């Protein structure tokens, strides 16, 4: 069995969720999907390791889950939207997870986002026809 | 929207840009909203991933996506119109999945709330059209543009006289995952919006990889705007064009387009 290469494999810092990933991390994402239900969130919170075992996670996936290591979870196949079902109820925002992926603080991550707005008005004028309030 | 942040400096400009949309919708008074969106793991898990799924039910419920947020009121559907759309689209070789029970997640609910949360009840019947943008392979930009063309044919051949608005949804450039998280490209977003108006072939001609390179992995959602565009006439009137950044990790745009008369 060999998985073919894709053009998107070369985008830096990016883990495109495709068949190869979905196949290798089906149990992990099934666990994350189960967190849609409050009863499952509570069961997971009581004993994350035991909860991981019921979904047949690999040793590495289980370790990353218990440690809440978001970058490792992503590398081990978690889909980002499913990962949000773990992170958001615990009080993490998508800025927190983005910062964790980059190994910077949330404030630093937010500053980078805010910087996108610095020359926004100028760009809207140039592009033409945009509502400007 | 759950926590009354709308008037804070961070959010004010984003929400203010929707006021003209609300006014336009009140004036046009549509009967039906077809919402082209992607499910983020509420109705569909990875055991079964339909590329194109059409709601064909009398009503649609919102539910907990894992965040414990308050769910919104039930959305009334229009099963007869849905099944007409299904028949017509399949006849036009879009072999979609029909759903008689379908939970709708934030991808559907947030646009509906942005338009109509100020009203006591939803003023339209809604039809969800869910596109897989979560697990690759996803449909190409060109395919979704063609889906819009076919959707137009389907709508205009419905025997009943109903007024339909099509919402093409999805964040503009953004990437939530990986070391590249936080990626936003304002220039690309503005180019996409102008392309959708005047030259949809430009965006429709891009590969999925090119869109992810220029707009981020989750920014690929912008291809769903092309289904809305395809449902319109070749040339369109621009009623409103608004863009804001950042909205959470995302560039956010809104266009009102009408058939050119």
Rounded Cα distance, B179 and B241, in Å: 32
Chain A residues whose CB is inside 8 A of the B248 CB are 93-95
Selected catalytic residue, list B84, B174, B242, B244? B174
Give pLDDT, residue B3: 56
* Confidence at residue B2, expressed as pLDDT on a 0 to 100 scale: 53
For residue B177, give the nearest of A30, A51, A84 by alpha carbon: A84
Is B40 assigned a catalytic role?
no
Contacts of B42 in chain A (CB under 8 A): 36
**What pLDDT score does A133 carry?**
77
Closest CA to A68 of A100, A23, A41: A100
The three-state (H, E, C) secondary structure of chain A, written as one string = CCCCCCHHHHCCCCCCCCHHHHHHCHHHHHHHHHCCCHHHHHHHHHCHHHHHHCCCCCHHHHHHHHHCCHHHHHHCCCCHHHHHHHHHHHCCCHHHHHHHHHCCCHHHHHHHHHHCCCCHHHHHHHHCCCCCC
Domain boundaries, chain B: 9-259
Quick check: A112 and B182 CB within 8 A? yes
Average pLDDT of the segment spanning A31-56: 97
DSSP assigned state of B261: -
Q: Quick check: helix, strand or coil at residue B61? A: strand
Residue A69 contacts B, CB cutoff 8 Å: no
Percent of chain A surpassing pLDDT 70: 100
Q: Smallest CA–CA separation between A103 and chain B, in Å?
A: 8
Mean pLDDT across A2-17? 97
Is beta strand B250-259 parallel, antiparallel or unpaired with respect to B236-247?
A: antiparallel
CATH architecture for residues B9-259: 3-Layer(aba) Sandwich (3.40)
Quick check: is B118 catalytic? no
Contact call for residues B33 and B126 (beta carbons, < 8 A): yes
Percent of chain B whose pLDDT exceeds 90: 93
Supply the pLDDT for residue B5.
79
Among the listed residues B40, B84, B106, B136, the single catalytic one is B106
CA–CA distance, B22 with A6 (Å, rounded to integer)? 42
* Residue B174 DSSP code: -
- Cβ neighbours of B241 in A, within 8 Å: 129-131
* The pLDDT of residue B68: 81
Residue B163 in contact with partner chain A when CB distance is under 8 A = no
pLDDT of residue B70: 84
Task: Write the Ramachandran bin of A123: left for phi over 0, alpha for psi from -120 to 50, otherwise beta.
Answer: alpha
Q: Give the pair of three-digit tokens for residue B213.
A: 């390179």
pLDDT in tens, A91-120: 999 999 999 999 999 999 999 999 999 999
- The per-residue pLDDT for range B221-234, each reduced to its tens digit, is 999 999 999 999 99
Give the pLDDT score at A55: 98
DSSP label at B71? Answer: P
Q: What is the ipTM of this complex?
A: 0.96
Beta-carbon contacts of A67 under 8 Å, excluding residues fewer than 6 positions away, are none
Q: Tokens 């989750």: give the residue.
A: B218
Query: What's the distance, CA A30 to chain centroid?
Result: 15
Residue B239, classified by CB atoms within 10 Å of its CB into exposed (0-12), middle (13-18) or buried (19+), is middle
Cis peptide bond N-terminal to B4, omega within 30: no
Q: pLDDT tens digits for B230-249?
A: 999 999 999 999 999 999 99
Q: What is the pTM of this model?
A: 0.97
Residue A18 sits at the chain B interface (C-beta within 8 Å): yes
* A64-86 tens-digit pLDDT: 999 999 999 999 999 999 999 99
> Positive or negative, the Cα torsion across B143, B162, B44, B104?
positive
CA–CA distance, A124 with A76 (Å, rounded to integer): 40
**Average pLDDT in chain A:** 96
| Residue B61 in contact with partner chain A when CB distance is under 8 A | no
- Tell me: the pLDDT tens digits for B159-187? 999 999 999 999 999 999 999 999 999 99
| Of B157, B168, B159, residue with least CA distance to B223 | B168
pLDDT in tens, B96-129: 999 999 999 999 999 999 999 999 999 999 999 9
Kind of pairing between the strands at B164-168 and B32-37? parallel
Q: How far is residue B160 from each of residues B91, B156, B157, B163, measured CA to CA in Å?
A: 19, 9, 9, 10
Question: What tens digit of pLDDT does each residue of B182-214 get?
Answer: 999 999 999 999 999 999 999 999 999 999 999
Which residues of chain A neighbour B240 with C-beta distances below 8 Å? 131
- Kindly state whether B205 is in contact with chain A, defined as any CB-CB distance less than 8 angstroms: no
Nearest to B247 by CA among B40, B25, B20, B16: B16
């Amino acid at each position: 069995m060999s998985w073919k290469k894709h053009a998107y494999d070369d985008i830096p810092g990016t883990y495109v969720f495709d068949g190869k990933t979905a196949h290798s991390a089906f149990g992990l994402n099934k666990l994350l999907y189960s967190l849609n239900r409050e009863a499952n969130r509570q069961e997971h919170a009581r004993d994350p390791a035991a909860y991981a075992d019921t979904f047949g996670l690999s040793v590495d996936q289980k370790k990353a889950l218990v440690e809440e290591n978001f970058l490792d979870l992503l590398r081990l196949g978690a889909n980002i939207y499913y990962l949000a079902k773990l992170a958001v109820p615990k009080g993490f925002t998508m800025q927190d997870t983005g910062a964790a992926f980059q190994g910077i603080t949330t404030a630093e991550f937010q500053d980078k986002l805010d910087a996108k707005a610095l020359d926004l008005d100028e760009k809207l004028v140039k592009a033409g026809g945009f509502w400007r309030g | 929207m759950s926590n009354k942040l709308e008037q804070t400096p961070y959010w004010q400009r984003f929400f203010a840009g929707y006021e003209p949309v609300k006014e336009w919708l009140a004036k046009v008074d549509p009967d039906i909203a077809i919402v082209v969106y992607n499910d983020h793991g509420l109705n569909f898990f990875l055991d079964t991933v339909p590329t194109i799924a059409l709601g064909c039910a009398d009503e649609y419920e919102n539910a907990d996506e894992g965040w414990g947020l308050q769910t919104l009121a039930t959305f009334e559907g229009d099963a007869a119109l849905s099944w007409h759309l299904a028949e017509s689209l399949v006849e036009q070789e879009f072999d979609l999945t029909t759903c008689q029970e379908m939970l709708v997640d934030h991808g559907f609910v947030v646009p509906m709330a942005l338009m109509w949360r100020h009203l006591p009840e939803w003023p339209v019947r809604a039809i969800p059209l869910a596109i897989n943008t979560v697990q690759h392979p996803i449909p190409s930009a060109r395919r979704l543009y063609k889906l819009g063309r076919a959707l137009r044919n389907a709508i205009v051949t419905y025997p009943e006289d109903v007024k339909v608005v099509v919402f093409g949804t999805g964040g503009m450039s953004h990437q939530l995952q990986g070391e590249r998280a936080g990626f936003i490209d304002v220039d690309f977003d503005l180019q996409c919006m102008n392309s959708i108006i005047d030259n949809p072939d430009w965006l429709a001609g891009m590969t999925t990889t090119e869109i992810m390179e220029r707009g981020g992995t989750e920014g690929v959602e912008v291809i769903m705007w092309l289904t809305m565009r395809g449902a319109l006439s070749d040339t369109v009137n621009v009623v409103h064009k608004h863009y804001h950044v950042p909205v959470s990790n995302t560039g956010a745009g809104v266009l009102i387009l009408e058939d050119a008369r």
